[in-house]
């Protein structure tokens, strides 16, 4: 309840009373419509499935990004006889996908409903709510994940387990009910098992499909990407620093790091800071030369190929930079408060990068001409990634397809 109160206050301060009222009405509609959706879900279980139809979605239901995107592109470009379909609430995105030769449809479009009902496989990043779950009863659900586990999530995260009993029931039997998931190495399988409640044999060590972007450039990869931003980064004669702060469950704003002292150091070292706030948070202020605020609703993963240094507080996106051998800075200025609301799978002091607990320490790190590789980077690489070869999506498809076909032939 305290977390909900903070979110309401956060929305009021940043979006106004109208948005609060709209959200309240939306909440009421969700309570009324839930029984209807549950009936549709049960009906969808008896609809005959078509083996060649696979549906895909992303957590915010509006973007074309992350592991689902790269899995979708792999199947479209490399696998014959399968119809991959992207399901979204974003009509503009659906039209753009279709204009580029892909199958993209909205939740309530005729074709969106048809493909969802007939799909035999569904790939999601966050939960089954990435897609219209009420149309996909009976489909095999594959959770590709939103990243390598660093913060605890689902059944391993106490804050997500709070709430009314109906929420727990829905999570257990629908929203968090997956058939398979993936991991980047055998060391991470137990973490995925703890979070998803899957049997270990249903978690495949494949690597994350989105990390294939460092090796492969599929047609369609540019959709959802801010190409002007990439051109801007490539035109800079200096160091590019990408800052990706994570979301606070309390809903609080992220404290701005763009202070006068930091701005002076950025200019002195010719460092250009690009900030991508989490879609659910805002900054107190953004004001300074060499500082760029990037839009949230875009596929920013390809940008990771272009940057010189990556910085975060608690985002698991640092794994992508580790995979790509990009230097990493950690800036956990509020770590005590953060760990009160969210648990981690690892001791923070052991992360593979340079930790700046204060602004002074951050400025000291930025003062260095080069950011040295930490001693534990090789250990993290070995333990986290069993494969660094650009074939992660191929392995996911092979594992899932073999298992699904085996079950159908029994």
Examine the fold and report which residue of 24, 43, 62 is the final residue of a domain before the chain moves on.
43
In this structure, the answer to whether residues 82 and 195 fall within a common structural domain is yes
Question: How far apart are alpha carbons 183 and 189 in whole angstroms?
Answer: 6
What would the pLDDT profile of 366-404 be if each residue is shown by its tens digit?
A: 988 677 677 788 899 999 999 999 999 999 999 998 887
Q: Is residue 222 part of a domain?
A: no
Q: Is residue 401 part of a domain?
A: yes
Give residue 26's domain range: 1-43
Q: What percent of the chain has pLDDT over 90?
A: 64
Which strands sit side by side in the sheet containing 309-312, from one edge to the other? 291-293, 271-275, 239-244, 309-312, 328-330, 354-355
Best-predicted range by mean pLDDT (126-130, 163-167, 365-369): 126-130
The DSSP call for residue 245 is P
In this structure, the answer to whether residues 134 and 205 fall within a common structural domain is yes
Q: Which of 84, 196, 61 is nearest to 130 (CA)?
A: 61
What would the pLDDT profile of 322-342 be if each residue is shown by its tens digit?
A: 999 999 999 998 888 888 888
What would the pLDDT profile of 50-79 be if each residue is shown by its tens digit?
A: 999 999 999 999 999 999 999 999 999 999
Token code pair at residue 323: 């995979």
Question: Positive or negative, the Cα torsion across 132, 53, 127, 348?
Answer: negative
| pTM score, whole prediction | 0.88
In this structure, the answer to whether residues 5 and 143 fall within a common structural domain is no
Q: Are 121 and 138 in contact (CB under 8 A)?
A: no
In this structure, the answer to whether residues 59 and 93 fall within a common structural domain is yes
Task: Give me the number of domains the chain comprises.
Answer: 3
Of 3-17, 158-172, 260-274, the range with the lowest mean pLDDT is: 3-17
């Amino acid at each position: 309840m305290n977390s909900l109160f903070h979110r309401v206050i956060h929305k009021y301060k940043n979006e106004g009373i109208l948005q609060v009222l709209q959200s309240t009405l939306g909440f009421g509609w969700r309570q009324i419509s839930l029984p209807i959706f549950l009936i549709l879900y049960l009906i969808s279980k008896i609809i005959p499935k078509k083996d060649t139809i696979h549906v895909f979605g992303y957590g915010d239901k509006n973007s074309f990004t992350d592991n689902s995107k790269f899995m979708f592109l792999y199947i479209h470009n490399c696998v014959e006889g399968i119809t991959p379909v992207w399901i979204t609430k974003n009509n503009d995105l659906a039209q753009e996908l279709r204009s580029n030769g892909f199958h993209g449809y909205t939740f309530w479009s005729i074709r969106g409903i048809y493909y969802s009902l007939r799909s035999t496989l569904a790939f999601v990043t966050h939960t089954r709510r990435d897609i219209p779950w009420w149309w996909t009863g009976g489909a095999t659900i594959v959770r590709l994940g939103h990243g390598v586990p660093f913060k605890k999530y689902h059944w391993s995260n106490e804050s997500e387990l709070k709430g009314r009993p109906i929420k727990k029931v829905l999570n257990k039997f629908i929203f968090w009910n997956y058939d398979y998931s993936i991991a980047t190495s055998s060391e991470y399988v137990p973490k995925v098992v703890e979070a998803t409640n899957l049997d270990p044999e249903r978690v495949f060590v494949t690597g994350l499909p989105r990390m294939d972007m460092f090796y492969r450039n599929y047609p369609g990869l540019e959709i959802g990407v801010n190409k002007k931003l990439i051109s801007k980064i490539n035109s800079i004669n200096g160091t590019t620093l990408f800052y990706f702060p994570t979301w606070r469950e309390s809903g609080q704003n992220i404290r701005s790091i763009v202070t006068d002292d930091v701005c002076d150091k950025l200019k002195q070292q010719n460092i250009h800071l690009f900030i991508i706030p989490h879609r659910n948070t805002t900054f107190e202020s953004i004001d300074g030369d060499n500082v760029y605020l990037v839009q949230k609703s875009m596929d920013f993963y390809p940008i990771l190929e272009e940057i010189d240094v990556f910085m975060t507080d608690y985002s698991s996106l640092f794994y992508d930079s580790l995979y790509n051998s990009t230097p990493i800075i950690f800036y956990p200025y509020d770590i005590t408060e953060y760990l009160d609301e969210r648990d981690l799978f690892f001791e923070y002091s052991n992360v593979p990068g340079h930790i700046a607990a204060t602004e002074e320490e951050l400025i000291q790190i930025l003062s260095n001409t080069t950011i040295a590789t930490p001693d534990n980077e090789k250990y993290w690489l070995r333990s986290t990634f069993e494969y660094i070869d650009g074939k992660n999506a191929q392995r996911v498809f092979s594992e899932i397809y073999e298992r699904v076909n085996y079950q159908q032939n029994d």
